[in-house]
Structure 1
Amino acid sequence: MGLMSASRTRTASARPARLAAPCTSRARSLRVVAQVKVDETAKEVNPAIPAFTRRREVFAGRLAMFGWLAETIGEILLRTGPIGQLEYILGFERNTVIALFVGIVLFNGIGAAFPNSPTWSKSNQEDVAKRPDGPPQDSNILVNKPGQALGITRPGFSKQNELFVGRTGMLGFLAAVVAEVLYNKGPWAMIASFIGQTPDDGYYRLIGYGLGISAIAITVLGYTLDNGGEDETGKDIY
């Protein structure tokens, strides 16, 4: 009887040990998610007023990423760039769409750089200064720390990587619009001309397959290569 009780006691005490590993792993994952926080003290500006702020840059970057994705899908379907796509969707003339793009850029660019803009307020300058040294805050980083010139971390989802991809998306979308104004081609048609390919159905089908495979691969790698949450250098990105 005593042996049976002792056996049950040992079995019962062994069960938590077997369950400890997944519980610990789950708790670690929750801690990692909890570490990725948004700075609640970041400068907030009326959305109707143009300004360069930490939050605005991240928002514009995310918008550019979605814009580039939408442009790629639209070009695969319509065989034209962002200007031609808006012509088709809105029913406007080409020059009207170009004028809209120019007006949006000028309104936000000049408005944000205007002397009375919230961009130059003391509170916003102090808020922007919270970001860690890196492009474009520290121009010397190209010489002193060339490995950090892009301001990114190792592969995975991090605030630094998001900021870099957002900036790349903004530049890429602007380049796509300018290229279409000059050459009347979408960005993927431009790439086809650079590499000596004909932008036919087979070419755009390949672009579609590449887009799908890349999205799956990036998502899997992003979650597989655990960054361990945000480190101290990334907490003030936004």
Structure 2
Amino acid sequence: MLTVTNLCKHFGGIRAVDGCSFTAEAGKITALIGPNGAGKTTAFNCISRTMAPTSGEVWLDGGRIDHLRPHEITAKGLSRTFQISRNLADMTVLENIVCQAPIRGWRGLMKPAMPPEEVAKAEGILEFLGISRLAHEDGANLSYGQKKLMDFAALLMSDPKIILLDEPAGGVNPSLLEEIIGHIRKLNEAGLTVLIVEHNMDLIMRLSHRVVVMAQGQVIADGPPEMVREDPAVLDAYLGGALEAA
């Protein structure tokens, strides 16, 4: 589904991403992990084109996308979340989600701001996530965890083929974390491909089919969670035994 080849992002003399290559197999959950500063989020930014890569290639479902603009990449079937919620605080949850629906052609600009079919779709997504009660709540009034769920809902409005989740468990309480894990698993079982950046090793080991480990901008390990868990280089040099304790 997604192929990243020799991806690089340099900031002056700093090589935040330095020849990074990996794949995310269709219908699987792939985790991208590593210590702080490893280049994971920068790689995400380059893949989604919220940041232009210095060099390298990104292919989605057989087509190259690293030259496209972010909205064009979304239209191709790739959507992402961010570590910090980017919701519009002066709009309701339902409005935040509906505004993420793609505009298809210039005629789409003539449609009502809240087309009935998009409202119905958003309400269905909220029901799936178990947060229908928040539909008419102002985005500014949500808890941190609720904002994470709203971002997740907005992600699904574009009918993506693959979703990139940037630390979905960060700052989330344990009970909500279990909900998020369940939602990701259900979506994956329905055929959605997932690429996830996360520091919660318990989540990664429980959820992922494959784990890619980055350090200093490069991929240092790639394989099933069980193999990565036992990789001495990952444990000793980069994660300080965090996987072993998970």
Q: TM-score of the superposition, structure 2-length normalised?
A: 0.25
Q: Which has the larger radius of gyration?
A: 1
Q: TM-score of the superposition, structure 1-length normalised?
A: 0.25
Higher helix share: 1
Higher strand share: 2
